[in-house]
Amino acid sequence: MHSKRLAKSKARLLAKKQELIETILQLEDNGLRSALANTTGELSSYDNHPADLGSETFERSKDVGLRDNERVLLSNVEHALEKIHQSTYGRCDRCGSQISEERMEALPWATQCIECQQKVDQNAVTPRPLEEVILTPPFKKNFLGSSSCECVSYDGEDALQDVMRYGSSDTPQDVPGAKDYESVFLNSDEHHGIVELTDAIPTEPGSTGRHAIKQQKYEKQTRQ
């Protein structure tokens, strides 16, 4: 690459680097440095109702995404500047061929030729959330009911019911048949911990195990 074109590209890269740094600092100074609970005035950033902090959570996620995108671009710019220092600027990192002048003019921080970049984009795999490594469906079942085994003692619906017992954003008027806040989830009247009432019958005379206690509570509720 000619010295004049190289000097022009270096100046553009340095200007872009300064612009990116200022943008990142601005995003962080405008709230990302502070905890979400501190910027909203709420005592906690957790609540039963998902809409309580919906707008704030969206704005925070958007700012984080913008900042991370600028960080990736900044890394590319710094890599291009390093290539200028190593006298390899303008050559593809993958195949070593000369990158077209049109591409370098449009993207001074480009480090791969069009052909190699297309191959990378075609083979790119979107990374899955890290939580999926441990958040697998219980007992090889998914939440639609399909299963690779015959185990039906605990499925996705049971897991959801266990969580919903701690409360949700629903109210009794949102769930047909619900009479109070303890019954505002799907099939809340199902037996908890047993399949049939006969499962709660003590196996030994005088037994007061947890199944017997649940049986007593269930019978009390049905009489009310």
Using alpha carbons, select from 95, 68, 97, 91 the residue that is nearest to residue 79.
Answer: 91
Q: Where are the domains of the chain?
A: 3-113, 132-223
Q: What whole-number distance in Å separates Cα of residue 222 and Cα of residue 137?
A: 33
Looking at 2-11, 88-97, 125-134, 204-213, which range is the least confident one?
Answer: 204-213
- Higher local confidence (pLDDT), 111 or 168: 111
Q: What whole-number distance in Å separates Cα of residue 137 and Cα of residue 133?
A: 11
> Right CATH number for 3-113 from 1.10.132.20, 2.40.50.140, 1.20.120.910, 3.90.400.10?
1.20.120.910
What is residue 194's predicted lDDT score, i.e. its pLDDT? Answer: 63
**CA trace torsion 175, 177, 181, 184 (10° rounding):** -40
Q: What whole-number distance in Å separates Cα of residue 157 and Cα of residue 159?
A: 5
Which band of pLDDT confidence, cut at 50, 70 and 90, is reported for residue 198?
Answer: low
Q: What whole-number distance in Å separates Cα of residue 140 and Cα of residue 146?
A: 9
Q: Give pLDDT tens digits for 18-73.
A: 999 999 998 888 777 776 666 666 665 555 555 667 777 788 888 888 999 999 99
DSSP code, position 133: G
What is residue 196's predicted lDDT score, i.e. its pLDDT? Answer: 64
Residue 149 has pLDDT above 60, yes or no: no
Which band of pLDDT confidence, cut at 50, 70 and 90, is reported for residue 139?
Answer: very low
